[in-house]
Every structure is written in C-alpha cells, then in structure tokens.
Amino acid sequence: QKEVEQDPGPLSVPEGAIVSLNCTYSNSAFQYFMWYRQYSRKGPELLMYTYSSGNKEDGRFTAQVDKSSKYISLFIRDSQPSDSATYLCAFFSGGYNKLIFGAGTRLAVHP
Amino acid sequence: GAGVSQSPSNKVTEKGKDVELRCDPISGHTALYWYRQSLGQGLEFLIYFQGNSAPDKSGLPSDRFSAERTGGSVSTLTIQRTQQEDSAVYLCATHRPGPGSWTQYFGPGTRLLVL
C-alpha cells in the first residue's frame, strides 16, 4: 500500500463549480497536512495547511482533515479558470525532514 | 534573488552522459531539498541538506546520483551515466527551519530529457 493515495485525474469542471480533491494516507505519524498548487512549468507553492482534524477556510478554499479516517480534502468554491493547475497533497511528520507528496490531481476549469 | 532559482531550466542529454543541475536557494534558508517529479507521479524526495549536518541521502535512487552544497548556499545535483528513466523534472526547495516553520519554497525545476 502506498503511503499516500491521490487520484491523478484529470478533473474537468465548468467555471463556478465546486471542486473536491482528496487524498488518503496510511501513516498515523503525519502531523501536518498541506495542499500545494502547481501551475504548468512552475514549482509547487503552498496553498493551505492544517495541523489538526477539522476544517480550515481561506477565501474560496477549504481544507478538511479527518485523522480517524486518514483522509484529507480540499474544496474549491466558485472555481475559476485561474484555478486550473495540479493540486498535490503533502504530509509532514515532526520526526522526518521531508514532505511526502501525493501524485497530484490535474484540474481544468473551463469558462 | 527573491525566490529559489534553478538552472538550466531544460536539459537534453544523451544516454550515458553526466549532467549537473544547480539550485540557488533563498538567502538565509539553511535547509535545502531535491525532489524528482516524473510524469503522473508525486514528488519523490532525493536528498536533504541542513546547515553543516550530514545530508540525508536516503532518497537517492542509485549511486549514479550525488549532490553537494557548497558553503551552505548553492547546491548541485549530479547524475552520472544518465539513463532514459532519469528523464523527469528535478525540483529544489528550501526553507528556514524554526518552530512551526516548515513551509518549503520551490524553484521552477529543471526538465531533464535523456535520449
């Protein structure tokens, strides 16, 4: 079993749709849960992070963590064409030096 | 500069040749990571440098891969006797370690194609 599972997509939605992106993980030592966004031919950039179970909201983006199910989600409301990118979930444990990334989900929002 | 820079942005080489990829970190960022991103795959950790400590090389896929960091700043990733399966985007990321500080800042990557 992979440490992190993320559906690579691609996911294509119309402008204004609500988008749901998800990852599952197996390592219960993970303490920090992150979403990175990667535009084409660019490096990933941190979009959101959360430390505990529950929801965290930032504008049109909501990150959700369910530690009991080892499941994290990113919701994008009122999606825009500028949201078209690859979204990677990432996990960090205080005992490690490295982030563990999912494969990334390619999202295309069409006008 | 303001961000992490990497060079070259693209590299095409022949199988069996050696290549060097360079990463210039954000000033003051003592931690530096190299990752590899293959098509349809997540970011694969390669190596981690932190200050003067011995690097964590646990992610290097074979002894053809090596990296160094001179003076705690610029880093070079070297791939010897390149193989076609080495074709990928190589990303460098840096951060300034501290309490609660682990956000990594990525460079734009070097696209390596081995023919």
Interface touch B107/A43, C-beta < 8 Å: yes
| Residue percentage of chain B with pLDDT more than 90 | 68
Nearest chain A residue to B97 by CA: give it. A97
CB atoms within 10 A of CB A17: 16
Torsion angle of the four alpha carbons B82, B18, B44, A58, in this order, in degrees rounded to the nearest 10: -130
Residue A70, Cα to own-chain centre: how many angstroms?
13
**What Rg value do the Cα atoms of chain B yield, rounded?**
14
Tell me the backbone φ, ψ of residue A81, rounded to 5 degrees. Answer: -55, -30
pLDDT of A56: 92
Token pair 């609500």 is at which residue? A18
Q: Which residues of B touch A (CB under 8 A)?
A: 4, 31, 33, 35, 40-43, 45, 48, 50, 56, 59, 91, 93, 102-109
The dihedral built from the CA positions of residue A28, A75, A2 and A42, taken in this order, carries a sign that is: negative
Average pLDDT score over residue span A17-31: 93
Residue A103 has its nearest CB partner, among B35, B40, B108, at: B40
Q: What pLDDT digit, counting tens, does each position of B30-50 carry?
A: 889 999 999 867 789 999 998
Q: Give the integer Cα–Cα distance in Å for A60 and B39.
A: 29
Beta-carbon contacts of residue B30 (< 8 Å; ≥ 6 apart)? B50, B51, B72, B96, B97
Which runs of consecutive H residues, i.e. helices, occur in B36-102? Answer: none
Q: Which of B37, B94, B110, B111 to mutate to test the interface with A (most CBs of A within 10 A)?
A: B37
Contacts of A8 in chain B (CB under 8 A): 40
The stretches in chain B having pLDDT less than 50 are: none
Give A99's contacts in chain B (Cβ within 8 Å). 43, 45, 104
Q: Predicted confidence band at A24 (pLDDT cuts at 50, 70, 90)? A: very high
Q: What Å distances lie between residue B104 and A42, B40, B86, CA to CA?
A: 14, 21, 24
- Give the pLDDT confidence score for residue B100 in this predicted structure: 61
pLDDT at A72: 96
- Residues in B touching A101 (Cβ below 8 Å): 35, 42-43
Separation CA B10–CA B1 (nearest Å)? 20
The closest of A91, A98, A81 to A36, measured between CA atoms, is: A91
Which residues, numbered 41 to 70 in chain A, qualify as contacts with chain B under a Cβ-Cβ cut-off of 8 Å? Answer: 41-46, 49
Q: In the A/B pair of chains, how many CB contacts fall below 8 A?
A: 48
Please write the tens of the pLDDT for every residue from A40-79.
989 999 999 888 888 999 999 999 999 999 999 999 999 9
DSSP structure string for A39-87: -TTS--EEEEEESSSEEEEETTEEEEEETTTTEEEEEESS--GGG-EEE
How many percent of chain A have pLDDT more than 90?
A: 72
Tokens 């997540």, residue located: B42
- Looking at chain A, which residue has its C-alpha nearest residue B33? A98
Assess contact for A12 and A97: CB atoms under 8 A.
no
Assign residue B46 a region: left if phi > 0, alpha if psi is -120 to 50, beta otherwise? alpha
The predicted structure's pLDDT at residue B50? 87
- Look up residue A34 and give its two tokens: 């992150």
